[in-house]
Structure 1
Amino acid sequence: MSFAISVIGVVAVAWVLAYVGAPLWVWTLASALAYAAGVVTGGLGAVASVVLGVPLVLLALLNVVPLRRALITRPVFATFKKVLPEMSSTEREALEAGDVWLEAEMFRGRPDWSKLLTFRYTELTAEEQRFLDNEVEALCQLVDDWKIEFEDKDLPPAAWQYIKDKGFFAMLIKKEYGGLGFSAAAQSAVVTKLATKSIALAVTVMVPNSLGPGELLMHYGTDEQKKQWLPGLISGKEIPCFGLTGPEVGSDATAMPDSGVVCYGDYHGKKTLGIRLNFSKRWITLAPVATVVGLAFNLRDPEGLLGDRSKSEYGITCALIPAKHEGVHIGRRHYPGAAFMNGPIFGKDVFIPVEWIIGGPAMAGKGWRMLVECLSAGRGVSLPALGTAAGQAAYRLVGAYGRIRRQFRMSVGKFEGVQEATGRIAGNAYTLEAMRVLTASAVDHCAPSVVTAIAKYHMTEMMRKIVIDSMDVMAGRGVQQGPRNALAPAYKATPIAITVEGANILTRNLMIFGQGAIRCHEYVFPEMEAARENNLAAFDKLLFGHVGFSINRGIRALTLGLTGSALARSPVDGPMATYFKQFERFSAALAFTSDVTMGVLGGELKRKERLSARLGDVLSQLYIGCCVMKFYIENGQKAEELDHARWALDQCLFEIAKAFEGFFDNFPVKPVAKVLRLAVFPFGNRYKPVSDQLNARLADQIMEATDLRNRLTSLVFVNGGPNEATGRLEHAFNLLLKAEVPYVKYFKAMSKGELAGTDTASRLADAVTRGILNAEEAQLVAEYDKVRYDAILTDDFTPEYIKGDFSVPTAGSRADILAFTGSLARVA
């Protein structure tokens, strides 16, 4: 019995040491004390003393660093260097681009929650807020999205001029150069609001502020280049585009065939050192109207004219070229799912001076690093703003429609089947705004490359889900296109956000975990660097630190799983405490699973895209959960907001568990998969989807005029008036809030056949006669009923208009339609 107790005691001590992450010397000391106690008390016989003494001696020898390095680390080091996957210079540059931020805490298994809680959101300055309230509002008033998309296929001239005059293309350019110098948070808010009015308008504004000549010039341009180009870019005299993608190169920009060869040529009648370019670019936003083209190409210098005769292949280089430069041809327009300017650019034997390289000849071959550094930040602002716009607009419009539209004598938003969709809209919209605020603020502090990839992928995917759910709810009202329909343009444009700045398939399967596992891990990238530098001493320290890290995270994951995360830490009390603990549990599980996976699969993991994508999903959901918890806490932990936060966090936990399940089911080494599954889910996967009850509460809230609704949809453009797509539903909803009580009384009486009359007016008169309504209530109901019916109508057009003759009226007379239908017993 005493022996069993001793064994249990030893195991318990070892478990505690592993759980707290005790260093090697503590393990050695504890093992020596346990061994000595066993010998002194007689608990260990002669044979047991010898058997257990050998590993104790070996453990002690591990503390002798020179001996350990020679006997253990050196052969491991040699093997590690052999199995280490090759990394091209472009892969290295992409990997090193940007900064490691909060995502590292999620990957390390023991998050330092203070980094989340003490991080400050970027607050808009008074100047930024005025711009949002005035210039952005005015620009929205200048555009008619239906005319843009169906008739003109372009922004109106007044909008173009206003964009130029007010510096919308120069939000990113710092004030020291004459630009607006807006924060990433302000740019995000501007793009979000514009997108709620017109996707084409938002894309037109956002692209030069995302990846364009302005940003590249600020960061890398020579003083002469800044002096030449920035004033025109700021004033709007110059319209920029950037030629990166082409027929043979989409997400894999490093494979571009566009080439430049250093040579001498004639420029302005003088022999000039320059570059002979040949290129064919596609899908370039603003190309059809651009006056200056940023161009990426592969540079070669076979004659060593740049001064280094040992180097002929320089790689990707970026240059700035006037659109009217000889040999540059702007092709015809592409036409994506929105009417923003987009098209091809061609060039054959185009000669440019080497000084046109952004940053001058010294930056030859450094274009890829320039691009990924700028793109990693821009990816966290522009496209996430489009996703947020979809969420905010849907929350406001679909919620209003669900309350206004009645079927089977009940608001459609009260049907459980509809609530399944509207609850998701509400939850995802809340999640999107939480992600937008934190991610944009992060970009203001650093350049978090992994976080921005997470934001781009998941926020555009949420956009897709929200738009589809919205279409399901609004049905024919969302399908029939026309000036009344604010939803169809977003439905058409959603694939744009999914595709650009790195296709979502690539982002999920290659970037998030592939970059995150290496950059965010405490040991992996330093170990790779030690191997590249052949630094055995550094590798030895990292190796044994890594082993201890893996043991600790494995035991922590199992312990937290066994205890239901009870031993995890929460930095706050209240309803968020349990979520902080759950996320710490899964952080440990991710760290342990990743370490085992990399150890077992090695370089093969790079080709196991679906496996790495699932681990990327875990990392992503951990970050999304952080965004939501931060958002809820920063907003004052309001009671009306709690259900939205719980919905989002329950969804994150469910998605994490689902990703782990898919990973374990498909892991190629089944015994390892079983061990991993046991460590992560010792009692099985008990995480469920968001409950119907919680989802229903959000579906109810989305139809209410609450403070939360106003805060979550604060960036929706609502001032277009009752004849504009959003304004029409907004007007009807606001009138319903005043008229709903008498309208419901009238509607119930009418539905029961208690009112005489064949039209609304006569039935209301009878309702007044019977005392069901008073005269004032009847007038209010009549006004609302007219507005309600107009709000649910869809557009219709003449055949001539559909064929493109826009000189004829766009639709039949609304007055005629309402007069005709006014005599009907509209009981639906």
Structure 2
Amino acid sequence: MQTALELIIFALAAGSFAYFRVKPWQWTIGLGIVLLGFSVFSHLPWWFLGLSWLLYAAAAVLFNITPLRQLLLSDRAYVWFKQLLPPMSQTEQEALDAGDVWWDGEVFQGRPDWRRLLDMPTPELNPEEQNFLDNQVEALCAMIDDWQMVNAGDMPDRVWQFLKDEGFFGLCIDKNYGGLGFSAIAHSTIVMKIATRSMSAAVNMMVPNSLGPAELLTHYGTDAQKSHYLPRLARGVEVPCFALTAPEAGSDATAIPDSGVVCRGHHDGKELIGIRLNWDKRYITLAPRATVLGLAFKLYDPDHLLGETTEHGITVCLVPTSHPGVEIGLRHAPMGMAFLNGPTRGTDVFIPLDWIIGGPSMIGQGWRMLMECLSIGRGISLPALSTAVGKVSYMTGGAYALVRKQFKTPIGHFEGVEEALGRIGGYTYLLDACRRMTAGAVDQGVKPSLASAIAKYHMTEISRKVIDDCMDVHAGRGIQLGPRNYLGYTYMAIPVSITVEGANILTRNLMIFGQGAMRCHPYVRAEIAAAYNESVEQGMADFDKLLTSHIGYAISNCVRSVFFSLGGWRLLRSPVKGPTAKYYRQLTRMSTVLAFVSDMAMLLLGGDLKRKERLSARLGDVLSHLYMGSMVLKHYQDQGANDDDLPYVHWALQHCFAEMQIALDGFFANFPRKLLGRVLKRVVFPIVRPFKQPASDKIVHQIARSMMQPSALRDRLGQDCFIGEDDDAIGRLEDAFKRVVDSVPLEKKVLQAIKDGVIKAHADKNEQLMQALNQEILNAEEVQHLQDTYGAVADAIAVDDFSETTTRNKQACQTETVKSI
């Protein structure tokens, strides 16, 4: 017994050096003292102590004597590592170089600094931005009739003009150039609010403010280009689009066949060196109306007019659509929505070199430029659209579940509907948290390329689940299109967000973990740079230093994973106290698991991991849910750590942990080397699966009930969801919702009278009210209040119907639109 106890103490003492990631000289001295103490005072067997001293001596010599370590370990590992590396193209390298490592790096490396996260500034609108949201955006939403827009195929001219006059196309353009100069969080919130009214209008507005000429010009344009274009873009004098996607180059944008050849030509009556462009692009939003075209192409210089280089790579230019040879005007019909989208083509279009964004000095830099700016679309615009879906579903799902009755009971009181409402509420809280913090990162000066990829994929996928649940709650009310329908076009638009800015399937399988491993790992990227160093001697020296640290990092994560799996995670410090403290500890545990498993996967599979897409996607899922769970905790604190939020926080975090568990289970079960897969699983989960299921029925019930009653929480989570007046569909529902809540005490009186037999149970509502009035159960004012409530409910749940003539005219109009395309 004593020997076993001493063994445990010895293991803990030795493991503590790995746990805290101490430097080699520190563990050499510390572990030597521990061994000496146990050799003198313990009852451990001599052979165990002898073996321990032997291993200690070997490690101490190896990690502290550089020439010997290089000879026996790092030089051989260097050769093996170079053979193991998958090939990396120039475009892949540029993609990795673009953007910054942010909180995603903290959760990837196994030791997140929670205080750093909580100390980050709360994303907030300044007074000017809030005023714009409360006035111009509110006025815009009131102008929009989505039913009319979609059937017309475009926004009315007065809406287009309002967008231009009020500066909506210059949200992010600096005030010095006539723009509004708004923050990323303001940009996100404005797009989101408009999207709660109309997805089509939001897309038309957001494209000039995301991956478009204005963003590229702001970061890379010459002074002359900025001075000419930015004021015109800000005022809407120029309507921009950006053309990247080609028929055979979608997510693999680097495969674009569109070309530019350096040659001599004539422009404005002068002969000069320029570029002859040929392109065929499709899916280009705003192309049918654009006046200026941003264009990505591959530049070639076969006659070496610019120098010795023949292939310069992807380059980006600006071309006025009025320029000879530019073809625009035709339209696609993406899911029948009203935002403008279409192809653009050009054959032998000659442009001067100074039309390249940034001028000739930016030749060949197009891919890096696009990668650095892509985080705007992925990190701001698409998360804003997704959160809009959540907010509309949250507000309308809860309200409809209360006002709509079946079997004389609000449908929201049925457990099946509660389950759907619970998901809507929990997901919406998660969406808003991720939206705010990812946009907030941009305002901190970060280019969060990986966090943006996580947000793009998971938030658009979550919005698909949310709208599905909300459609289920509304049932027939949700599928009848017409002016009264507030869900149908949002439901139809979801696949657009799923598809654009990199298809979701490829984002999950190729980008998230692939970029995460390369960007966020503290050593891998530097080790690759050392392996590719043209000076082999310098490369080996750099690799030796990195390898020593990497080995210590991996051992530390292994020890920490084992310790946490045996319950040690409960001893971790949390930056907060209370019901959310455990989540910080559990996220740290899972962060360590990811760091350890990722290292082992890269070591054991090497370059094959890049081709094992499903395995890397599962590790990407773990990274993603670590990120999203962190954002929920930060958001909860930023919102004041209100007790009312706790069911939503519990649901969101437990969902994240359940998804991480599923991902890791799939990773271990499908690891190519089955035995090693089982060993890895037992290291991190030696006894049980710690996260077996998502939130409990009790939490789901709490969320559902909170959605069906007015509260500060409901107002806060539904904030910036546009709710109009008069004939607005959501406005009708919200009015009925409030009336029903106010009528609860009166309805209880009527129900009690029915139970007592004073009022006939099978009479219609109006007759029951008259009986209640006659029996003095209700007074005349109360009867009128209930009659108004019943009328408001009937109006809110009503659907549109059309004459046969109207239906035929609509179908004929749609057919004509298709023919024109």
TM-score (norm 1): 0.94
Residue 378 of structure 1: CA displacement? Answer: 3.0
Specify whether residues 5 and 191 from structure 1 end up closer, same or farther in structure 2 by C-alpha distance, changes over 3 A only. Answer: closer
1:106 and 2:104 correspond: no
Residue 724 of structure 1: CA displacement? Answer: 1.4
Q: Is the 8 A contact 1:260 1:275 kept in 2?
A: yes
Structure 1 unaligned blocks of 5 or more? 809-828
1:559 and 2:563 correspond: yes
Partner of 1:393: 392
1:122 and 2:123 correspond: yes
Residue 414 of structure 1: CA displacement? Answer: 0.4
Structure 2 unaligned blocks of 5 or more? 814-821
Could you list the per-position Cα deviations for residues 40-65 of structure 1 after superposition, in whole angstroms to 9, with x for gaps in the alignment? 67979998787655434322322111
Partner of 1:781: 786
1:582 and 2:586 correspond: yes
Q: Give the Cα–Cα distance (whole angstroms) in 2 for the partners of residues 807 and 461 of structure 1.
A: 34
Partner of 2:453: 453
Residue 760 of structure 1: CA displacement? Answer: 4.1
User: Which of residues 715, 739, 742 is equivalent to 2:720?
Assistant: 715
Q: Give the Cα–Cα distance (whole angstroms) in 1 for the partners of residues 206 and 617 of structure 2.
A: 29
Q: Secondary structure at the match of 1:566?
A: helix
Q: Is the 8 A contact 2:7 2:44 kept in 1?
A: no
Residue 102 of structure 1: CA displacement? Answer: 0.5
Partner of 1:815: none
Residue 743 of structure 1: CA displacement? Answer: 3.2
Specify whether residues 609 and 48 from structure 1 end up closer, same or farther in structure 2 by C-alpha distance, changes over 3 A only. Answer: closer
Could you list the per-position Cα deviations for residues 142-163 of structure 1 after superposition, in whole angstroms to 9, with x for gaps in the alignment? 110110112x111111100000
Q: Give the Cα–Cα distance (whole angstroms) in 2 for the partners of residues 713 and 7 of structure 1.
A: 57
Q: Map of 1:309-348 to 2, 5 A cutoff?
A: 309=308, 311-337=309-335, 338-348=337-347
1:238 and 2:246 correspond: no
Residue 674 of structure 1: CA displacement? Answer: 1.4
CA RMSD of aligned residues (A): 2.1
Q: Give the Cα–Cα distance (whole angstroms) in 2 for the partners of residues 504 and 373 of structure 1.
A: 19
Deviates more, 1:744-753 or 1:184-193: 744-753
Q: Map of 1:501-520 to 2, 5 A cutoff?
A: 501-520=501-520
Could you list the per-position Cα deviations for residues 600-644 of structure 1 after superposition, in whole angstroms to 9, with x for gaps in the alignment? 000100011111111111111111111111111121111111111
Q: Is the 8 A contact 2:6 2:42 kept in 1?
A: no
Residue 27 of structure 1: CA displacement? Answer: 3.2
Q: Secondary structure at the match of 1:295?
A: strand
Q: Secondary structure at the match of 2:575?
A: coil
Q: Is the 8 A contact 1:756 1:766 kept in 2?
A: no
Q: Give the Cα–Cα distance (whole angstroms) in 2 for the partners of residues 572 and 180 of structure 1.
A: 38
Q: Give the Cα–Cα distance (whole angstroms) in 1 for the partners of residues 761 and 621 of structure 2.
A: 61
Partner of 2:817: none
Partner of 2:433: 434
Partner of 2:819: none
Instruction: Work out the number of aligned pairs and report it.
Output: 804
2:215 is aligned with what amino acid? Answer: E
Q: Is the 8 A contact 2:743 2:786 kept in 1?
A: yes
Q: Is the 8 A contact 2:759 2:771 kept in 1?
A: no
Specify whether residues 723 and 417 from structure 1 end up closer, same or farther in structure 2 by C-alpha distance, changes over 3 A only. Answer: same
1:596 and 2:600 correspond: yes
Specify whether residues 736 and 99 from structure 1 end up closer, same or farther in structure 2 by C-alpha distance, changes over 3 A only. Answer: same
Partner of 2:776: 771
Residue 748 of structure 1: CA displacement? Answer: 6.5
Specify whether residues 380 and 804 from structure 1 end up closer, same or farther in structure 2 by C-alpha distance, changes over 3 A only. Answer: same
Q: Is the 8 A contact 2:636 2:649 kept in 1?
A: yes
Residue 489 of structure 1: CA displacement? Answer: 0.6
Residue 218 of structure 1: CA displacement? Answer: 1.0
Specify whether residues 626 and 807 from structure 1 end up closer, same or farther in structure 2 by C-alpha distance, changes over 3 A only. Answer: same
Deviates more, 1:540-549 or 1:759-768: 759-768
Q: Secondary structure at the match of 1:797?
A: coil
Q: Give the Cα–Cα distance (whole angstroms) in 2 for the partners of residues 37 and 588 of structure 1.
A: 31
1:786 is aligned with what amino acid? Answer: G
Residue 725 of structure 1: CA displacement? Answer: 1.4
Q: Is the 8 A contact 2:377 2:501 kept in 1?
A: no
Residue 240 of structure 1: CA displacement? Answer: 0.1
Residue 531 of structure 1: CA displacement? Answer: 1.5
Partner of 1:278: 278
Q: Give the Cα–Cα distance (whole angstroms) in 1 for the partners of residues 144 and 41 of structure 2.
A: 88
Q: Give the Cα–Cα distance (whole angstroms) in 2 for the partners of residues 435 and 185 of structure 1.
A: 12
Specify whether residues 523 and 750 from structure 1 end up closer, same or farther in structure 2 by C-alpha distance, changes over 3 A only. Answer: same
Q: Secondary structure at the match of 1:264?
A: strand
Q: Give the Cα–Cα distance (whole angstroms) in 2 for the partners of residues 64 and 312 of structure 1.
A: 49
Q: Secondary structure at the match of 1:784?
A: helix
Residue 804 of structure 1: CA displacement? Answer: 2.3
Specify whether residues 228 and 775 from structure 1 end up closer, same or farther in structure 2 by C-alpha distance, changes over 3 A only. Answer: same
Q: Secondary structure at the match of 2:225?
A: helix
Q: Is the 8 A contact 1:213 1:240 kept in 2?
A: yes
Q: Secondary structure at the match of 2:246?
A: coil
1:473 is aligned with what amino acid? Answer: V
Could you list the per-position Cα deviations for residues 739-780 of structure 1 after superposition, in whole angstroms to 9, with x for gaps in the alignment? 232134436756979339965444322220122221111010
Specify whether residues 484 and 58 from structure 1 end up closer, same or farther in structure 2 by C-alpha distance, changes over 3 A only. Answer: same
Q: Is the 8 A contact 1:265 1:274 kept in 2?
A: yes
Partner of 1:10: 10
Partner of 1:620: 624
Residue 738 of structure 1: CA displacement? Answer: 2.3
Specify whether residues 753 and 795 from structure 1 end up closer, same or farther in structure 2 by C-alpha distance, changes over 3 A only. Answer: farther
1:543 is aligned with what amino acid? Answer: L
Specify whether residues 176 and 518 from structure 1 end up closer, same or farther in structure 2 by C-alpha distance, changes over 3 A only. Answer: same
Q: Give the Cα–Cα distance (whole angstroms) in 1 for the partners of residues 52 and 182 of structure 2.
A: 66
Partner of 1:483: 483
Q: Secondary structure at the match of 1:287?
A: coil
Specify whether residues 42 and 453 from structure 1 end up closer, same or farther in structure 2 by C-alpha distance, changes over 3 A only. Answer: closer
Specify whether residues 40 and 791 from structure 1 end up closer, same or farther in structure 2 by C-alpha distance, changes over 3 A only. Answer: closer
Specify whether residues 43 and 730 from structure 1 end up closer, same or farther in structure 2 by C-alpha distance, changes over 3 A only. Answer: closer
Percent identical among aligned pairs is: 51
Partner of 1:170: 170
Partner of 1:819: none
1:540 is aligned with what amino acid? Answer: D
1:755 and 2:753 correspond: no
Specify whether residues 475 and 44 from structure 1 end up closer, same or farther in structure 2 by C-alpha distance, changes over 3 A only. Answer: closer
Q: Secondary structure at the match of 1:154?
A: coil
Could you list the per-position Cα deviations for residues 289-314 of structure 1 after superposition, in whole angstroms to 9, with x for gaps in the alignment? 000000000111111112x21x1111
Q: Give the Cα–Cα distance (whole angstroms) in 1 for the partners of residues 57 and 162 of structure 2.
A: 78
Q: Is the 8 A contact 2:709 2:741 kept in 1?
A: no
Q: Secondary structure at the match of 1:803?
A: helix
Q: Give the Cα–Cα distance (whole angstroms) in 2 for the partners of residues 645 and 695 of structure 1.
A: 11
Q: Secondary structure at the match of 2:809?
A: coil
Partner of 2:729: 725
Partner of 1:409: 408
Q: Give the Cα–Cα distance (whole angstroms) in 2 for the partners of residues 52 and 513 of structure 1.
A: 38
Q: Is the 8 A contact 1:560 1:568 kept in 2?
A: no
Q: Map of 1:280-299 to 2, 5 A cutoff?
A: 280-299=280-299
TM-score (norm 2): 0.95
Partner of 1:419: 418
Q: Give the Cα–Cα distance (whole angstroms) in 1 for the partners of residues 44 and 798 of structure 2.
A: 88
Partner of 2:91: 90
Specify whether residues 750 and 13 from structure 1 end up closer, same or farther in structure 2 by C-alpha distance, changes over 3 A only. Answer: same
Residue 70 of structure 1: CA displacement? Answer: 2.6
Residue 8 of structure 1: CA displacement? Answer: 4.0
Partner of 1:662: 666
Deviates more, 1:611-620 or 1:533-542: 533-542
Specify whether residues 232 and 52 from structure 1 end up closer, same or farther in structure 2 by C-alpha distance, changes over 3 A only. Answer: closer
Q: Map of 1:150-299 to 2, 5 A cutoff?
A: 150=151, 152-299=152-299
Partner of 2:801: 796
Residue 800 of structure 1: CA displacement? Answer: 1.6
Q: Secondary structure at the match of 1:794?
A: coil
Q: Is the 8 A contact 1:19 1:555 kept in 2?
A: yes
Partner of 1:697: 702
Q: Give the Cα–Cα distance (whole angstroms) in 1 for the partners of residues 301 and 289 of structure 2.
A: 32
Residue 577 of structure 1: CA displacement? Answer: 0.6
Q: Secondary structure at the match of 2:421?
A: helix
